[in-house]
Amino acid sequence: MNQPILFSLQVYGIAIVVAMLVAALIKLLVFVTGRLERDAAAKSVPQGEVCPVSFGILDEDVAALSAAIFAVIGPHHILHIAPTNRTWSSQGRAAQHSHAGFQRPPR
């Protein structure tokens, strides 16, 4: 009787060790890929000319327009939540739940 309990504890111990090793490997992979992505993003920052437009647009105007576009498109915020007019859904629900006109069949 003691042998099966000892065997099951060994199996659980091995499973715990394997799970911890897999978790550590995943953590390492996430760390390494995050570091590589951060380095790649730092290298992809444009250097020099902001906008290759040669129509006589000043760099300050391009910067101001870019800032305005980012301000509009940037982080999204919910500005207003208002109840909508759902008369069609409430009428349909009332028609489904209405007992008017419902007659039981004769027995």
pTM (2 decimals)? 0.39
- 24 is a domain residue: yes
Nearest to 63 by CA among 50, 78, 76: 50
Could you tell me if residue 57 is inside a domain?
Answer: yes
Q: Is residue 59 part of a domain?
A: yes
82 lies in a domain?
no
Residue 63 placed within a domain: yes
What is the separation, in whole angstroms, between the first and last Cα of the chain? 66
> What is the residue range of 64's domain?
2-71
Residue 33 in any domain: the answer is yes
Q: How many domains does the chain have?
A: 1
Structure tokens given for 32 = 């390494």
Q: What are phi and psi of 39, to 5 degrees?
A: -65, -40
- Which backbone phi and psi does 71 adopt, to 5 degrees? -65, -35
In a domain, 76, yes or no: no
Question: Is residue 41, in this structure, part of any structural domain at all?
Answer: yes
Number of residues written out for the chain: 107
pLDDT in tens, 57-103: 777 777 787 778 777 776 655 566 566 666 767 777 777 766 555 56
